[in-house]
Copies of this chain bind each other. A is one copy, B any other.
Amino acid sequence: MNTLEKLAKLVRYYILTSTTEAGSGHPSSSLSAVELMVTLMFRGFFSYDISQVDYPNNDRLIFSKGHASPLFYSLWTAAGALTEEELLSYRKFGSRLEGHPTPALPYVEAATGSLGQGLSIGVGMALNAKSIDKLPYRTFVLLGDSEMAEGSQWEAMQIAAHYKLNNLIGILDVNRLGQTGETMYGHDLSAYEKRIASFGWKTWVIENGHNMSHIASAYEQALAVTGAPVMIIAKTIKGKGVSFIENKNGWHGKALSKIECENALKELGEVDRSITGRFAKPQSCKSIEYILKIRLKDNGYGNEPIATRKAYGQALVRIFPKHPEMVVLDGEVSNSTYAEIFKETYPDRYFEMYIAEQNMIGTALGLSRRGKIPFVSSFAAFLTRANDQIRMCQYSEANIKFCGSHAGVSIGQDGPSQMGLEDIAMFRSIRNSVVLYPSDAVSTDKLVEEAANYKGLVYIRTTRSATPIIYPASETFPIGKCKVVRESKNDFVTVVAAGITLHEALKSYEDIKKDGIFIRVIDLYSIKPIDIETLKSAAQQTKAIVVVEDHYPEGGIAEAVRSALAGSKTPIYSLAVDNIPKSGTPDELLQFENISKDAINKTVKQLRQENI
């Protein structure tokens, strides 16, 4: 038995013992890919300096089929990176070895477990190597056959081919069985081959995915390909190596009992636990250094109204010299989001992602995990398309800036399908997210810079129509603060607004002033984190809070304010989008939804009448 065979046996031993110890997990899905992965990692195809996890030239390995985590952890144990003791902590509270991989363990490139996302992450890492850092490292992605049903896979597939990512290698583990039964194509390798080839990938089919010399020869050829990404498509047996679960339905996501495990280990025979798998040495490289040109020009906004979406594009250009890790992605609407302003100035750092938002976010995650700061834009409405990918970003310690343009009914004639009305709710619900909503070009400019400086997930909501400049160029906009833009000692109530509604609030201020009523107006440009202190003062000093937002009521700004003011006895009223939105002019729609200056006037006057 050669070393590779011994390693495969050892990895099987680890898979079985760790899952049975945990009492749950996915041994059968892990066993099918043992030879594919052992050959990749320990026969010289995978270059990795195990002493320097962050070494820029380390190859990258992503388990898109994240449920095969027992295999992943077993491989790194066989490589000496994890102890057998730690392996047995799998799935236990506090362990780095979670049910599905997360970067709690440094060998994990990104959290997976929501299927069909790993290839997009791989696209980001491969794009980084090929087009940004210009490094020779390769990105390998282990894919399950079930997850090929996810559309996001085909988004990744087309973009990888479009950008000719020949440093991206997919390994498709066709073990025939999904969670509940046979996949759509079972063991028909040609079904996968023709689809994948039609998308512009080079394909290699391995009829026996447990034959390590066949596998090795596929890798040899795959790594020599130029000009296209490569998919290795291997026929495997789910549960391989344990006769009583091999190729059997009903064994998905099920650990063997102690007795079953003993029997399986007997079948496996003697295991050499003294051997260690070795990686190839990565090519040496100097550390990546970006040339800073930190003299930032000033966008110098005058008095002309300008759309915040346009200021977004201009801000990207302005701050790039100070943030050379920036990369800008857009979903084929860059002339609407104004990411095109950046594209025109720094074409090498702009990547067109076409109308495929899920892959766009996955790619951004891959770029982020390789040290970039991706700014990703589309219509706010269409970012909901990638909600699951955005959700997964929060478990990958990602550093991504999302920009959603065309927020709210104020976009006008295009109608509800194009209106972002749930985006604040979506982004607020992401753990540790930052949600920003500028109202003029100056605040947009500053907030884009704040976003770049902040490490984490930041959402910036922009508006379609031009809005007046309300801030001087010297104003600062720290994350977590807000601006009190109108204030007096006699303020009756406080109107909290952001983005388009701030301008309505300011108009309302002027209107109501004529009746001798003063309102405090707060620009809540940072919706999350939220400026609790300033809101509390307003709640203490005025009789009510009226929140006006171009968003549905649930999960939006009013609820954020209510949570911030929990415990306060000041009543909080919400003016939000509550009629079925439709086409019309922006003004007609603000009016229709009761979020215009007239609606604010009416609400405030009514509160005055009620003598609250």
Interface residues of A (CB under 8 A from B): 22-25, 66, 91-95, 98-100, 102, 104, 111-116, 146-147, 149-155, 158, 162, 178-181, 183-184, 194-195, 197-199, 332-336, 340, 352, 354-359, 381-382, 384-385, 387-388, 391-392, 395, 413-418, 421-422, 425-426, 428-431, 528, 552-556, 558-560, 562-563, 566-567, 569, 571-574, 580, 582-585, 588-589, 592
Cβ distance A64 to chain B, nearest Cβ, rounded Å: 12
Instruction: State the CA gap A475–B158 with chains docked (Å).
Output: 54
Whether the pair A355, B147 counts as a contact (CB closer than 8 A) is: yes
Chain B's closest residue to A146 (CB) is: B355
Q: What residue in chain B is nearest A355 (Cβ atoms)? A: B149
Nearest B residue to A330 via CB reads B180
Report A184 CB to chain B, min CB distance, Å.
5
Once the chains bind, are A582 and B359 in contact (CB under 8 Å)? no
Q: Are B151 and A100 in contact (CB under 8 A)?
A: no
Cβ B335 vs Cβ A180 within 8 A:
yes
One of B355, B430, B582, B589 near A104 (C-beta < 8 A) = B582
| A553-B562 in contact (CB<8A) | no
* CB nearest neighbor in B for A560: B554
Q: How far is the CA of A197 from the CA of B158 in the complex (A)?
A: 16
The answer on a CB contact under 8 Å between A100 and B180 is no
Q: Please, which residues of chain B bring their CB within 8 A of the CB of A99? A: 413-415, 418, 583
Asked, given contacts A93-B592, A574-B563, whether A385 binds B382 with beta carbons under 8 Å apart, the answer is: no
Q: Which of B153, B178, B414, B553 touches A563 (beta carbons < 8 Å)?
A: B553
Q: In the bound complex, do residue A385 and residue B384 qualify as a contact, i.e. CB atoms below 8 Å apart?
A: no
Q: Report if A146-B354 is in contact (Cβ < 8 Å); known contacts: A151-B153, A155-B151, A566-B573.
A: yes
On whether the beta carbons of B355 and A150 are closer than 8 Å, the reply is yes
Looking at A115, A154, A392, A395, the one whose CB has the most chain B CB atoms below 10 A away is: A154
Q: Are the CB atoms of B356 and A555 closer together than 8 Å? A: no
Q: Which of B154, B332, B563, B584 contacts A180 (CB 8 A)?
A: B332
Docked CA distance A418–B67 (Å): 10
Closest B residue to A589 by beta carbon equals B93
Least distance between A338 CB and chain B CB atoms (Å): 11
Pick from B335, B359, B426, B528: contact of A151, CB under 8 Å? B359
Contacts of A566 in B (CB 8 A): 562, 571-574
Assess whether A385 is in contact with B114, with CB atoms less than 8 Å apart: yes
Residue pair B180, A340 in contact (C-beta under 8 Å)? yes
